[in-house]
């Protein structure tokens, strides 16, 4: 936990980078920071409880995946600029929460905390465990997971209005391929992962292009 707190403080001092903005926002909001500290301490405990460094490194990889997946919903809303009724429909489809405003606020906090945890865990893997191979491979996985989650959300939005998308029938296959890649990365064998099939599927359906702004 001390490592993560130092990493946050270091990131906050860097200036105008993405990491510094995340760290500064977290450190500048005591209630959210307290939530993050409690949750992140629990995640780091799963690493510390392992008896040897190889097992600790594997546990840290699992934390990285958990954090990456948890930040995905709000990342999609934020990066694809989903507003208005489209946002309400998607939030309802993803979470089934009748309190829309509370759910969006909660997801924003989860995004901020999970992004910070991912940043700290990435540094832990690189600097403490010397696992830069995994950390570099995780960047590629993150890009592939964002593509999948975007396709998933687009399918949810289409279904809400009685439509469909080109990738909707392929979502179970894409999800399975990502599971296989995760297993390779957790096993310390990222070289076994092949993203070619995933990228060819996105390209064949035109889903590697930036999405339109979704408002209504």
pLDDT at residue 103 in the model: 93
pLDDT at residue 211 in the model: 35
pLDDT tens string for the chain (216 positions)? 889 999 999 999 987 788 999 999 999 999 999 999 999 999 999 999 999 999 999 999 999 999 999 999 999 999 999 999 999 999 999 998 778 999 999 999 999 999 999 999 999 999 999 999 999 999 999 999 999 999 999 999 998 888 888 889 989 999 999 999 999 999 988 888 777 766 666 666 655 443 333 333
pLDDT at residue 203 in the model: 66
- For 174-207, give one letter per residue: b (16+ CB within 10 A) or e: beebbeebbebbbeeebeebeeeebeebbeeeeb
pLDDT at residue 20 in the model: 94
- The tokens for 191 are 């070289």
pLDDT at residue 9 in the model: 93
pLDDT at residue 97 in the model: 72
Q: pTM of the prediction?
A: 0.89
pLDDT at residue 166 in the model: 87
- The tokens for 126 are 């690189």
For 107, 162, 209, the CA distances from 115, given in Å and listed in that order, are: 12, 34, 24
Query: How is residue 146 annotated by DSSP?
Result: H
pLDDT at residue 204 in the model: 60
H helix or E strand, kind and range, residue 31? helix 30-48
């Amino acid at each position: 936990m001390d490592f993560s707190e130092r990493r946050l403080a270091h990131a906050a001092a860097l200036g105008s980078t993405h990491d510094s903005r995340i760290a500064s926002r977290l450190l500048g909001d005591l209630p959210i920071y307290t939530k993050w500290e409690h949750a992140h301490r629990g995640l780091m405990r799963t690493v510390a409880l392992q008896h040897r460094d190889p097992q600790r490194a594997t546990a840290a990889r699992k934390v990285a995946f958990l954090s990456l997946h948890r930040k995905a919903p709000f990342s999609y809303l934020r990066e694809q600029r989903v507003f208005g009724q489209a946002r309400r429909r998607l939030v309802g489809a993803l979470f089934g929460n009748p309190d829309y405003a509370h759910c969006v606020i909660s997801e924003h906090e989860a995004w901020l905390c999970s992004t910070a945890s991912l940043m700290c865990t990435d540094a832990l893997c690189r600097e403490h465990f010397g696992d830069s191979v995994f950390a570099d491979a995780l960047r590629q996985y993150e890009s592939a997971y964002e593509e999948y989650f975007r396709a998933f959300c687009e399918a949810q939005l289409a279904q809400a209005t009685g439509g469909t998308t080109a990738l909707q029938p392929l979502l179970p296959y894409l999800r399975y391929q990502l599971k296989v890649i995760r297993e390779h990365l957790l096993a310390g064998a990222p070289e076994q992962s092949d993203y070619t099939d995933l990228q060819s599927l996105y390209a064949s359906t035109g889903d590697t292009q930036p999405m339109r702004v979704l408002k209504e």
